[in-house]
Amino acid sequence: MEILDKIKFDDKGLVPAIVQDNLNGHVLMMAYMNRESLKKTIETGLATYWSRSRQKFWVKGETSGHLQYVREILVDCDADTLLLKVDQTGVACHEGHRSCFFRKMIGQGEALEVISPPAKCKNDIYGIKQEER
pLDDT score at 126: 60
Whole-number pLDDT of residue 80 = 98
Residue 37: closest CA among 11, 16, 6: 16
Q: What is the pLDDT of residue 58?
A: 94
Q: Does the residue 131 lie in any domain?
A: no
Strand partners, 83: 18, 74
Q: Please state the domain count of the chain.
A: 1
Question: Does 133 fall in a domain?
Answer: no
The whole-model pTM stands at 0.86
Q: Looking at the domain assignment, is residue 14 inside a domain?
A: yes
Q: Is 130 part of any domain?
A: no
Beta bridge partners of 105: 112
For residue 68, the SS3 value is: strand
Q: How far apart are CA 16 and CA 29, in angstroms?
A: 11
Which amino acid, residue 35?
R
Lowest mean pLDDT among 53-57, 58-62, 116-120, 121-125: 121-125
In the prediction, which pLDDT does 53 show?
93
Residue span of the structural domain in which 115 resides: 2-125
Instruction: Note the pLDDT tens digit of each residue in 86-115.
Output: 999 999 998 889 999 999 999 998 999 998
Distance between CA atoms of residues 114 and 130, nearest Å: 20
The residue type of 19 is V
What CATH number is attached to the domain comprising 100?
3.10.20.810
Establish if 82 belongs to a structural domain. yes
Q: Tell me, yes or no, whether 99 lies in a domain.
A: yes
> Is 132 inside a domain boundary?
no
> Does the structure show a pLDDT above 60 at 9?
yes
Within-domain flag for 86? yes
**pLDDT tens sequence across 49-64:** 999 999 999 999 998 8
Q: How far apart are the first and last CA of the chain?
A: 35
